[in-house]
């Protein structure tokens, strides 16, 4: 067991500060964030050019150390040595909170293993900021970050998550959003979704609707800028409330000549329901 006293300890080691940075609007930089970056000995930055613009804007002269996914393995031992020598280090990502979609987590684990204090300097977070304004249920929620890029892997991922009741948060490239939503529609059905674009920037935009509606809109209006997807969780009660009607509709399709599995698939897609669950309910009734 390990107990960390972030500010009341007598450790000779330096501290690792995880410092949030703006996700688009420089005015989101807090006084504590600025002061921390000024006072530490080094800043471990995901992209020193990007962070350099931030430091210049706030007249911060602290030396940067390049630290990203491609050099993390070799850099972490050096950074740990600096911390153990009494130097303080701030880690930052290109935007938002570090250690979520960058190599900061490995750095944090290494610091904790050496008894080095890890201190959060809170601030902007794209996923949570988008969630609370989305209009979808903020609790419970699951943050997944970036999705698999390959179609097969992405569909397999959606299959494993389609019955989760929590609101789901994803990051996605504007160039892949349409294909991702099409894959999501084929697995999740036509759920409510919110596409958030350019959060905190002048062109900030929320597109709220069913997955099919958002697909139609972005087909006519190609996307630009950073994007997030906030997706409604699975609602089992929707099947419970209208189960008899759904099963009757399936039987009508079957009576009209549609194969049973195809009829179940059609009804599930029509109402944005879980196909596997509806399949199970149908066959339970048939017994």
- Please provide the DSSP assignment of 18-62 as one string: EE-B-SS-GGG--HHHHHHHHHSSEEEES-HHHHHHHHHHTT--P
User: pTM here?
Assistant: 0.79
Same fold? 16-123, 127-231: no
Q: What is the largest CA-CA distance in the chain?
A: 79
At the top level of CATH, the class of 127-231 is alpha beta
Q: Which residues pair with 191 in a beta bridge?
A: none
User: In 3-state terms, what secondary structure has residue 253?
Assistant: helix
How does pLDDT run across 11-69, given as a tens digit for each residue?
899 999 999 999 999 999 999 999 999 999 999 999 999 999 999 999 999 999 999 98
105 Cβ partners below 8 Å, 6+ apart?
Answer: 99
Helix (H), strand (E) at residue 143: strand 141-146
Both tokens of 141, joined, read 């929620």
Specify the CATH number of the domain 16-123: 3.40.1010.10
Lowest mean pLDDT among 1-10, 111-120, 134-143: 1-10
Confidence of residue 216 (pLDDT cuts 50, 70, 90): very high
Q: Which residues pair with 192 in a beta bridge?
A: 210
How does pLDDT run across 174-202, given as a tens digit for each residue?
999 999 999 999 999 889 999 999 999 99
117-120 own/partner pairs: CB under 8 Å, 24+ apart: 117/4, 117/5, 117/6, 117/9, 117/11, 117/13, 117/15, 117/16, 118/4, 118/15, 118/16, 118/18, 119/6, 119/7, 119/15, 119/16, 119/17, 119/18, 120/17, 120/18
Locate the domains of the chain by residue range.
16-123, 127-231, 243-285
Per-residue pLDDT, averaged over 196-219, amounts to 95
pLDDT for res 208? 97
Our CA angle for 281, 239, 212, nearest 5°, is 115
54 Cβ partners below 8 Å, 6+ apart?
Answer: 21, 22, 26, 29, 60
pLDDT for res 18? 97
For the cut 80, the answer to whether the pLDDT of residue 264 exceeds it is yes
Q: Could you tell me which residue, 135 or 250, shows the higher pLDDT?
A: 135
In 3D, which of 247, 254, 245 has the Cα closest to residue 282? 247
Confidence of residue 272 (pLDDT cuts 50, 70, 90): low
Cα-Cα-Cα-Cα torsion 138, 143, 145, 146, nearest 10 degrees, comes to -90
For the cut 90, the answer to whether the pLDDT of residue 100 exceeds it is no
Structure letter (DSSP) for residue 149: S
Both tokens of 129, joined, read 């900021």
pLDDT for res 241? 47
In 3D, which of 228, 230, 240, 226 has the Cα closest to residue 271? 240
Mean per-residue pLDDT over the chain, rounded = 91
Could you give phi then psi for residue 209, rounded to 5 degrees? Answer: 170, -170
CA 198, CA 201: separation in Å to the nearest integer? 5
């Amino acid at each position: 067991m390990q107990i960390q006293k972030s500010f009341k300890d007598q450790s000779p080691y330096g501290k690792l500060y995880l410092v949030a940075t703006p996700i688009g609007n420089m005015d989101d930089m807090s006084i504590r964030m600025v002061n921390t970056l000024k006072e530490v000995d080094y800043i471990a930055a995901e992209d020193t050019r990007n962070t350099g613009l931030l430091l210049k804007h706030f007249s911060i002269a602290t030396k940067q150390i390049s630290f990203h996914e491609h050099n993390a393995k070799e850099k972490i031992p050096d950074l740990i040595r600096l911390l153990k020598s009494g130097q303080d280090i701030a880690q930052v990502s290109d935007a938002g909170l570090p250690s979520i979609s960058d190599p900061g987590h490995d750095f944090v684990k290494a610091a904790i293993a050496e008894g080095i204090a890890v201190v959060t300097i809170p601030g902007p977070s794209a996923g949570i900021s988008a969630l609370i304004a989305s209009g979808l249920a903020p609790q419970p929620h699951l943050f997944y970050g970036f999705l698999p890029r390959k179609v097969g892997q992405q569909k397999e991922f959606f299959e494993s998550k389609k019955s989760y009741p929590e609101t789901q948060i994803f990051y996605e490239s504007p160039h892949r959003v349409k294909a991702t939503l099409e894959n999501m529609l084929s697995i999740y059905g036509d759920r409510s979704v919110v596409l958030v674009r350019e959060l905190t920037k002048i062109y900030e935009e929320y597109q709220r609707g069913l997955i099919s509606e958002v697909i139609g809109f972005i087909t006519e209006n190609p996307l630009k800028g950073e994007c997030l997807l906030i997706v409604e969780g699975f609602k089992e009660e929707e099947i419970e409330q209208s189960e008899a009607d759904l099963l009757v509709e399936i039987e009508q399709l079957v009576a009209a000549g549609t194969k049973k599995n195809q009829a179940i698939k059609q009804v599930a897609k029509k109402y944005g329901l879980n196909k596997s669950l509806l399949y199970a309910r149908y066959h339970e009734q048939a017994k």
